[in-house]
Amino acid sequence: MSPQSCLKLLNNLSVSQLAELSKLSKSYISQVKHGKCPPSQKLLESLFHFWIQHTKTQTNYLAQFLQSRQASEASSGSLLFYRVKLSRFLNDLNADTATSRDIEEFLLQFHNPGNRHAYYRVIKTFYNWREETFNVPNPMKKVKAPRLAKLILPSLTVEQVSTLLDRVDKVRDKAIIALFTDGGLRLSELTNIKLQDIDWETRTIRVIGKSRKEALAPFGKLSERYLREWLSQYVPVGNVWGLNQWGIISMFRRLRASTGLPCNPHTFRRTFATLLRKSGLDVMTIKDLGRWESLEMVQRYTRSVSFRDCLKFYRAPLS
């Protein structure tokens, strides 16, 4: 056990907790906490045993929680997100003794609002799982969600998508860009498309979305043209692209470097939602077409749609 870990425990645990652990008097513990006398060997041994037990408990919590997420078929990206954020939290605080105030102070150390909110979501999910699994109190019920700035994230115009289509040489890459824009596909959904998933008659593609849910994604005539042309040149083995996720991301990075335009799967998904909203489609329909689970997500993705964009479709009720 390092001196830093010892100091952290002395600072984080209350006088009463330390006295109970070590069976030493509260007055002595108080003097140690205030730096008036050094910790005795008995106190150090008590802290060491507590630290061992704490580490074991936290590790078990992390492993069990990740197993539960894996059982609910969370993606590999989500599992990594949970692991990184929750490891930091469990390293700093004891999940069993942390109060609402402790969690609020932990969140305040993150100055970036987006990062703070990300930690909040992970910790809330963890404590909801802990409450349901072990039937214990949930301190997150008293913690308010950090305010998140309503940023307008980039999306592309039709003209900008056309620029990207003109800039790539391979018809495969044109088909990928067109399908991302037409269907609002997630990266995993697009990467895993197989020949038998495509219904040419209805212009839909069977995809496996979040939580392994099966759904349909639409596409238009331009996407069909590029896709048919690509499949006339390439006989699929596995997915229809002959590329994995990293290959698609690399192609987008090259495009961004050559055009200066934001170019990644999330940008195309926002573009899909924004262009449909600007064409007059209601958010409920966009939600269903884009396979979102809530209207709130659609509203977040279409935040760049302005009042003037909506005004084009306005019809005065009494006119």
Confidence of residue 244 (pLDDT cuts 50, 70, 90): very high
Query: For the segment 77-117, what is each residue's pLDDT rounded down to a tens digit?
Result: 788 899 999 999 988 888 888 899 989 999 999 988 889 99
Give the pLDDT of residue 286: 93
Contacting residues for 185 by C-beta, under 8 A, at least 6 apart:
179, 205, 207, 217, 265, 268, 269
Q: For domain 158-311, which architecture applies?
A: Orthogonal Bundle (1.10)
Nearest residue to 208 (alpha-carbon basis) of 239, 163, 169: 239
Is residue 129 within 8 Å of residue 163, measured between CB atoms? Answer: no
| pLDDT above 90: residue 174 | yes
Confidence of residue 290 (pLDDT cuts 50, 70, 90): very high
Give the pLDDT of residue 150: 67
| pLDDT above 90: residue 251 | yes
Give the pLDDT of residue 201: 96
Higher pLDDT, 5 or 311: 311
Boundaries of every domain in the chain: 3-142, 158-311
Query: For the segment 56-66, what is each residue's pLDDT rounded down to a tens digit?
Result: 667 788 888 99
| pLDDT above 60: residue 53 | yes
Q: How far apart are CA 22 and CA 10, in angstroms?
A: 12
Give the pLDDT of residue 3: 58
DSSP state of 96: T
Higher pLDDT, 286 or 57: 286
